[in-house]
Structure 1
Amino acid sequence: MNNPDDQPANPGAGQRWEKAVTGAGAPKAAGRKPAPPPAPEPLYEKHQTVHNQRINGPFRRFKWFVMLVTLAIYYVTPWIRWDRGPYAPDQAVLVDLANRRFYMFGIEIWPHEFYFVAGLLIMAGIGLFLVTSAVGRAWCGYACPQTVWTDLFQHVDRLVDGDRNARARLDKAPWTASKLARRLFKWLIYLAIAFATGGAWILYFADAPTLFREFFTLQAAPVAYATVGVLTATTFTLGGFMREQVCIYMCPWPRIQTAMLDEKSLIVTYKDWRGEPRGSVKKAEKKPGAYGDCIDCLQCVAVCPTGIDIREGPQIDCITCALCIDACDRVMKDIGRPRGLIDYATLEDCEAERAGEPPRSAWKALMHPRTLIYSGIWGGIGIALLFALGVRNHTDLTVSPDRNPPFMLLRDGSVRNAYTLKLRNMESRPRDMEIALDGLPGAVLWTDTIAQTDAARSHVLEVGPDQTRTVRAYVAAPSGTARQNFSFVLTSRDEQAEQDSSETLFNAPGGE
């Protein structure tokens, strides 16, 4: 509690002291309450549901094409069959986790060949850089899974609720039995699409017809049901309700892409020097030359799937789907003005066009050094991967020497070392393979299935199709053999006669 003796003697100073201590801004006699503190500024804008309008045009038709192709690839691919012979699965694309294999039509990737997968991922990353540096977020606008499924769900909205104005009215309408029934019907379609999406995903990891039958007869593994449940929930939520919020807030790519764009990148651009000041057709007729080409019809905003106004300039929310170009071109055609008020253009070309130069073709704008460099790197990696696939060996050998003990002395004075060999047959048929010694004069070998009395410089073993056979091998060298390197050589005994070798160490007494 404050001591009254500590208050200033000067009355004016006392009032100031009271204000400072109590925060009172007005005398109590006035009967007013202190003004409340200002509300903190919100960090996030309240979400506004985006109801984009139906539009037709070349970019919309291309978006239809990409959506249909990508969805067909995703849902149909697990059902495509591919004959690899009697010893390999006949599913065209299969991620066989149990046997650690990845099959894609005629290509089979083993765990030790993960560099092929790494190469494909690098190609995907560079391809994304290439597309972004050339035409902005075109990947986001057409082929991103979030965009594809969002587009699909938006078509469901139009099918059930009608076009933009009808959906907006239904949102504002009170909840009635009719609205509830319509919503439940639409959400049921959402759920069916989401379930099909999750169900298709698990078919890539097992034989599709078998897993499909086991799933609906409740015989599949629990992980299959858990995976379908998670993917169904995420597809239903992200595609049905969050939509553009994923692109704007959750996806990191809009922030990353800015480092790959410059004044030479093609992006969807509003040519403000041509469109401003905005005015209706009637105003333009009354005052020729006083208004630009933009009649402020808001069609570019109405068709945008993220609900932005492209006329405000480049924005992080823009996914470069170019539907606003279709809408604006249609309006320009209707009012008899040239197309291209909103168009794919580089900022460099926009400045040149503003100065009166003729517009440059978009194809010419793509031909700048950065695009060519990205294309060269992307193509070079692809050619290197194809070459590696073409010349790769389908026979592989791995050797691991025993560390403890490093060697043993036998009765006759010879020195024996033990090794674990892994003979890999990457063909979809059984093969006879010869394992032989190269170097280490006078040495012989035998295995855990071959008696020591049958020891020789080489032996023939059978390796099953698409299998790795582990062999326990023993190598004995004459007394007095020094510590030295030698090699195991594996040769397939067929028309291919593929060969692989692995150098290792032979330990002996007196070695360092």
Structure 2
Amino acid sequence: MNKTVPPDDLDFDEEGPLYVARKKVYPQKVSGTFRRIKWGLMAFCLGVYYLLPFVRWHRGLGAPDQAVLIDFPNRRFYFFFIELWPQEVYYFTGLLILAALTLFLMNALGGRIWCGYLCPQTVWTDLFYAVERWTEGDRRERIKADAAPMTAARLGRRALKHFIWLMIAWWTGGAWVLYFSDAPTLVKDLATFQAPAVAYIWIGILTATTYVLAGHMREQVCVYMCPWPRIQAALTDEWALNVTYKYDRGEPRCSVKKAVDLRAHGEKVGDCIDCNQCVAVCPTGIDIRDGAQLGCIQCGLCIDACDSVMKKVGRPDRLIGYDNDINVQRRIAGKKEIFKPVRARTIVYAGVIAVVCSVMLYALLTRSLLDLNVLHDRNPVAVRLSDGSIRNGYTLRFLNKRGFDRVVAVDIDGPPGAKIHVIGADSAIPDRPMIVLGRDSTTEMRVLVTVPFNEKADKTVPIKFRVTDVGLGEATSATDHFVVP
């Protein structure tokens, strides 16, 4: 068998492997403006996630009083004063559209704002890093400890770290299931081992995923698993602000002492002193000075680290900052910086968001809390009675979304002489049966419509069923067809 030999001028060994083994990242503690923003957002996001199930909202007698609740047994979603039914799934569709458009707008304005500050992976990883620093020390201590033999003291600190991680992960999973049942009751049932098995199963699944993703995989989730960096790269444009190393000001790099000597001789020297603090604080371990990269979540911590170094060496801050390559090139050419937060892309995103919000708000404010669905009998479609009249059968499903019982009247608009009979309804008023609808429920009734025989009548005639709340005057209708055999 002949073997194919690569040309001599191709050295595959120099290309390197397609996959490089992971190098452990040891982010260093940093303080500054963006670190404070991240602490504040972390506290807000975690506070909302963990405490929101315990917030109460009174909805009336017999209704759940949990402010945010996904009630699967009763097929309801409660969000403070909003109650959504399965038939209103289009509201969730609208929320998904808004979420996508908001991400697009964030990206057009400030790059991966979501990734750096609000993404659950970022929030929980930040929290796990804080626990790691508290138990095992900062960057240098952890690197030194990992290079040294294991000791009892180090083993104890590591065990404490993993215990706290597991407790955080456990409460993360526990908080999630509280959104699907009454939180105080479920907490009591979980503590006394009387909760449903599915609750323990989901707590176990979410505990494991939180512990693994935030404690062990960390930046690998952002680099390898998350699709948003790839999508963001396709959506960004030249005007979007991203965390940028301003190489026009930072290059060429040299130490502080050497920079003093070079400046004394009138040579050009950059502000970057090659201290690598921007690399040391990066949670994904990249070097921002290498330009835009997939691994950069744009959290701004390198900005804080660089600013602190610039302050110490007496140079202006924001050598690393939110900027774009257009302004870098303009500064090199001696031109003034230009920022364009308002441009065609952002106007379109903001406009579509406004339209979707307006449509959803209008639909929510004007939606009817009384609904009606009509299903025509299929076999037989129509029946001819002994007196020659024609009868069609229907199933009417009434939907009462209010938290109290109410009485409704049923009327029809259709063929001349049509008479309606609702089986099981109050027939005290001729041709206008009354039905009692239970609170927050659906009611099905069998309805018969009879029409005198008419040789000239069309084979199919539209018929409208109207339902009116006799107390509130609220009304709704549904249209079907009356069939003549």
Q: TM-score, normalised by structure 2?
A: 0.93
Q: 1:500 aligns with which of 476, 479, 485?
A: 476
1:331 match: secondary structure: helix
Choose 143-152 or 348-357, whichever is displaced more. Answer: 348-357
Closer/same/farther in 2, CA of residues 340 and 119 from structure 1, 3 Å limit? same
Partner in structure 1 of residue 444 of structure 2: 470
Partner in structure 2 of residue 96 of structure 1: 71
Deviations 1:81-129 (A, max 9, x none): 1011113211111111111111110111111111111001100000001
Give, in whole Å, the separation in 2 of the partners of 1:105 and 1:113. Answer: 17
Deviations 1:132-166 (A, max 9, x none): 12111110000000000000000001110111111
Give, in whole Å, the separation in 1 of the partners of 2:233 and 2:403. Answer: 48
2:326 match: secondary structure: helix
Partner in structure 2 of residue 458 of structure 1: 432
Root-mean-square deviation (CA, aligned residues, Å) is 2.0
Partner in structure 2 of residue 84 of structure 1: 59
Partner in structure 1 of residue 309 of structure 2: 331
Contact persistence 1:401–1:420 (CA under 8 A): yes
Contact persistence 1:444–1:456 (CA under 8 A): no
Partner letter of residue 295 of structure 1? I
Partner letter of residue 76 of structure 2? R
Identical amino acids, percent of aligned pairs: 49
Partner in structure 2 of residue 107 of structure 1: 82
Q: Extract structure 1 runs of 4+ deviating beyond 4 A.
A: 37-41
Q: 1:487 aligns with which of 439, 464, 468?
A: 464
Give, in whole Å, the separation in 1 of the partners of 2:15 and 2:223. Answer: 23
Give, in whole Å, the separation in 1 of the partners of 2:185 and 2:260. Answer: 70
Give, in whole Å, the separation in 2 of the partners of 1:146 and 1:508. Answer: 63
Stretches of structure 2 lacking an aligned partner (at least 5 in a row):
6-11
State the Cα distance separating 1:447 from its structure 2 match.
Answer: 2.5
Partner in structure 2 of residue 413 of structure 1: 388
Give, in whole Å, the separation in 2 of the partners of 1:180 and 1:446. Answer: 80
Contact persistence 2:248–2:331 (CA under 8 A): no
Give, in whole Å, the separation in 1 of the partners of 2:352 and 2:425. Answer: 51
Contact persistence 2:248–2:328 (CA under 8 A): no
Q: Give the number of aligned pairs.
A: 472
Partner in structure 2 of residue 195 of structure 1: 170
Partner in structure 1 of residue 262 of structure 2: 287
1:63-462 equivalences under 5 Å are 63-288=38-263, 289-360=267-338, 364-450=339-425, 456-462=430-436
Give, in whole Å, the separation in 2 of the partners of 1:57 and 1:494. Answer: 62
Partner letter of residue 493 of structure 1? V
Give, in whole Å, the separation in 1 of the partners of 2:341 and 2:391. Answer: 67
Give, in whole Å, the separation in 1 of the partners of 2:237 and 2:155. Answer: 49
Contact persistence 1:443–1:457 (CA under 8 A): no
Contact persistence 1:346–1:365 (CA under 8 A): no
Give, in whole Å, the separation in 2 of the partners of 1:118 and 1:347. Answer: 37
Partner in structure 1 of residue 17 of structure 2: 42
Give, in whole Å, the separation in 2 of the partners of 1:207 and 1:337. Answer: 57
Q: TM-score, normalised by structure 1?
A: 0.89
Give, in whole Å, the separation in 1 of the partners of 2:226 and 2:388. Answer: 70
Bigger radius of gyration, 1 or 2? 1
State the Cα distance separating 1:409 from its structure 2 match.
Answer: 2.4
Choose 160-169 or 411-420, whichever is displaced more. Answer: 411-420
Give, in whole Å, the separation in 1 of the partners of 2:123 and 2:416. Answer: 66
2:23 match: secondary structure: coil
Contact persistence 1:56–1:326 (CA under 8 A): yes
Give, in whole Å, the separation in 2 of the partners of 1:455 and 1:421. Answer: 19
Give, in whole Å, the separation in 2 of the partners of 1:174 and 1:491. Answer: 80
Closer/same/farther in 2, CA of residues 76 and 423 from structure 1, 3 Å limit? same
Partner in structure 2 of residue 56 of structure 1: 31
State the Cα distance separating 1:44 from its structure 2 match.
Answer: 1.5
Give, in whole Å, the separation in 2 of the partners of 1:450 and 1:416. Answer: 18
Contact persistence 2:111–2:241 (CA under 8 A): yes
Contact persistence 1:445–1:456 (CA under 8 A): no
Partner letter of residue 284 of structure 2? T
Contact persistence 1:265–1:347 (CA under 8 A): no
Deviations 1:43-89 (A, max 9, x none): 21111111111111111111111111111111111111101111321
